Structure 1
Amino acid sequence: MAITEIKENEFENATKEGFVIVDFYGSNCAPCKTLERTLEELDFEAPFINIVKLKIDETENIIEQQGITSVPTVFFMKDGEVLEKKLGFIPLNEMKEIVGKYMY
């Protein structure tokens, strides 16, 4: 699966089934750009993982509902439930460990 940019009104539908990584990012955030490269590497190595991105500038209600206070924030979700939340940059090996913990 390719990394998909979603809008606020698509969040619930995009995360309601299966395992999903959600990247909340800011357009002028340097750590967000570094994390984006990590997510692209993960997508290349494991294209079956569903990864979605939400730009915080365009998602005010979700940001408030989910308690997002800084970016990047990454949710690891399964069937609509947040299993784990990480703040800041996540190295690829750590990302793989988290995915392995919840997918297998």
Structure 2
Amino acid sequence: MIKEINTEEYDAMDKSGVMLLEFYSKSCGPCKMLAFVLKAIDGMFPDFPIYTIDFDENEELKERQGVKGFPTMLFMKDGEEAKRLEGLQQKPAIIKEVEALMAV
């Protein structure tokens, strides 16, 4: 399930379990390419939540999470960052991180 959220929605959500937070910008070419990869991964792992967050519209959350550029993916476990991948990533690298996070 890929869902776009904002800072308020993130703060209100249950953070138990695993999830992926992807910070992106609408004007970012690599972010657009990553969206296709995440859609494929979402199909492979339908029970793994993926949340996209607009980098430009969520300054407070971006700063709180220490995100400096886009795209940035934060692999989260029970509200804590387990792994961070920055820049455009290939599908196998993302799958590896999802599988590792789900195995813990």
Q: TM-score range by the shorter chain?
A: over 0.9
Q: How does 1:1-104 map to 2 (within 5 A)?
A: 2-14=1-13, 16-104=15-103
TM-score, normalization by structure 2: 0.93
Q: Supply the AA of the counterpart residue of 2:75.
A: F
- Deviations 1:18-77, CA, capped at 9 Å, x for gaps: 100000000000000011100000011111110000001110101111111100000000
Q: Of Structure 1 and Structure 2, which has the larger fraction of its residues in helix?
A: 1
Q: CA RMSD in A?
A: 1.1
Q: Which runs of 5+ in 1 are unaligned?
A: none
TM-score, normalization by structure 1: 0.93
Q: Which runs of 5+ in 2 are unaligned?
A: none
CA distance in 1, matches of 2:53, 2:3: 9
Q: How high is the sequence identity, in percent, across the aligned residues?
A: 33
User: How many pairs are equivalent?
Assistant: 103
Flag as ranges the 4+ runs of structure 1 deviating above 4 A: none
Q: Is the partner of 2:27 in helix, strand or coil?
A: coil
